[in-house]
Structure 1
Amino acid sequence: MENISYGKIVLIGAGHVGSAILDSLLRMNLADEIVVINRNEKKALGVVLDASHTTAFAYSANANIRVGTYEDCKDAQIIINTAGPSIQPGNSRDRMVLLQTNVQVMKEIMTQITAYTRSAIIINVSNPMDILTYIAQTEFNYPRNLLIGTGTLLDTARFNKMLADLCGVDAKNVTGFVLGEHGGTSFIPWNAVNIVGIPFHDFQKQFGLKEPVDCEKLLHEVKVSGLDIVELKGYTSSGIALSVCRLVGAIMRNERAVVPASVVLEGEYGLEGIAMSLPCVISRNGVERTLQIPLDKEGEKNLKICYEYLRNVIESIS
């Protein structure tokens, strides 16, 4: 095993998402050293210089921030991949339009990373999330527990916020997961949704709702919210940056936090041959284990739909 420099993060990509992640990592004091890699080194240098000046303020840790190369991966604790094109305003509202281009980008990046390390925890942010996570792990034989996609972590945050607003509570009091694909076939196991132990079917009575929560409408709003932000703002950055920081924090602090993340399946729910989001226990070892939420019949049906869709996409590019 390579020597790991604990607290060292390599950030691949210096676009809107990469820059937002860098800023959030600094604000949350999550790293000692951050190395930025970008094809356009001048842009990387600009991002690094801009961020480095914030370390003079009291609320920002004095982390070492610099431009680097893939050789810096050799002792990194965490590598964050944001490289490749993102959905643009006016594009198809489907992350799969990025498939062919970003598959090649991911293969190039994994070739570079694996030349230097197989010990770093890789967090994949690039889309289509689950397909790229699957390819990165299986085609390069990377340790399964060390390759994590952000998956439906941001979808889950959006869902928790929307449901909390309906019920008039803090989103942090909602326990509920969006699972499956980071995309159109994602689903919510409603039988597992609760607020401080109050089950979903009691929400109308307990929180004085005028009518029951419209499950289909809420799930649709969760699915399209990111695409809506792209159309309105031009890109998404804040939410995904904190999603990455949630994973980084769980790793750095060895939290064993349970969060939804995309991993390659190894028999969960009797499935394999894809990556999708399940609740994962995240620690300094990456994915300690995956958890299988008990699914009702609707959840089982939605899981099957998601699996078959992702499997078909993987077979189409094999």
Structure 2
Amino acid sequence: MVGEHGDSSLAIWSTISVAGMPAFKSLRDSHHSFDEAALEGIRRAVVGGAYEVIELKGYTSWAIGYSVASLAASLLRDQRRVHPVSVLASGFHGISDGHDVFLSLPARLGRGGVLGVAEMDLTEVEAAQLRRSAKTLWENCQLLDL
């Protein structure tokens, strides 16, 4: 999941692989009809998962604690692992340079902090969705005069 952390976040289906093979490309090639609605349902379930936990429990502290521990390990041990973290996204996949917006993107972390954003080979539809997510966040920041 990438983009803003909320309703306009998106799943990058084209990057999913199983044993090094692009999973969704082979599914699309082998099936005459591919259910895009089912994929959207999965994305919505992931986005809505946090809301469900908050509704049932009142908070999401375990997931946050685990994420912070994982990030700290990568930084302190210079593991150079890829994590979905908020980074400046201007210029990334056509996101306007004039719109300074931070989005969740896969970034390699090490002792020096963010060492780089992982290159993602997005479809044009996915790139457009990412730009739309960035625009949504940027427009909301403008409304708040941030």
Q: What residue ranges of structure 1 are gaps of 5+ in the alignment?
A: 1-177, 205-210
Superposition TM-score, scaled by structure 1 size = 0.40
1:191 equivalenced with 2:14 (yes/no): yes
- Count of residues in correspondence between the two structures: 135
Whole-angstrom CA distance in 2 between matches of 1:203 and 1:246: 33
Q: For residue 200 of structure 1, what is the amino acid of its counterpart?
A: A
| Larger Cα-atom Rg | 1
Aligned residue runs from structure 1 range 153-164, under 5 A: none
User: Does the residue aligned with 2:104 lie in a helix, a strand or coil?
Assistant: strand
Aligned residue runs from structure 1 range 1-318, under 5 A: 178-201=1-24, 202=26, 214-271=38-95, 272=97, 273-318=100-145
CA displacement at 1:316 relative to structure 2: 1.1
Is the Cα–Cα contact under 8 Å of residues 256 and 281 in structure 1 kept in the other structure?
yes
> Which residue in the other structure is 2:31 paired with?
none
Q: Percent identity?
A: 28
CA displacement at 1:265 relative to structure 2: 2.3
Whole-angstrom CA distance in 1 between matches of 2:63 and 2:101: 25
After TM superposition, the runs of 4+ consecutive aligned structure 1 residues lying more than 6 A away are none
CA displacement at 1:246 relative to structure 2: 1.3
The structure-2 alpha-carbon separation of the partners of 1:216 and 1:266, relative to structure 1 and needing over 3 Å to count, comes to: closer
Superposition TM-score, scaled by structure 2 size = 0.84
The structure-2 alpha-carbon separation of the partners of 1:216 and 1:237, relative to structure 1 and needing over 3 Å to count, comes to: same
CA displacement at 1:187 relative to structure 2: 0.4
Q: For residue 281 of structure 1, what is the amino acid of its counterpart?
A: R
Deviations 1:209-262 (A, max 9, x none): xx9682111101000001000111111111121111111110011011111111
User: Does the residue aligned with 2:116 lie in a helix, a strand or coil?
Assistant: strand
Q: What residue ranges of structure 2 are gaps of 5+ in the alignment?
A: 29-33
Is the Cα–Cα contact under 8 Å of residues 74 and 109 in structure 2 kept in the other structure?
yes
Is the Cα–Cα contact under 8 Å of residues 87 and 103 in structure 2 kept in the other structure?
yes
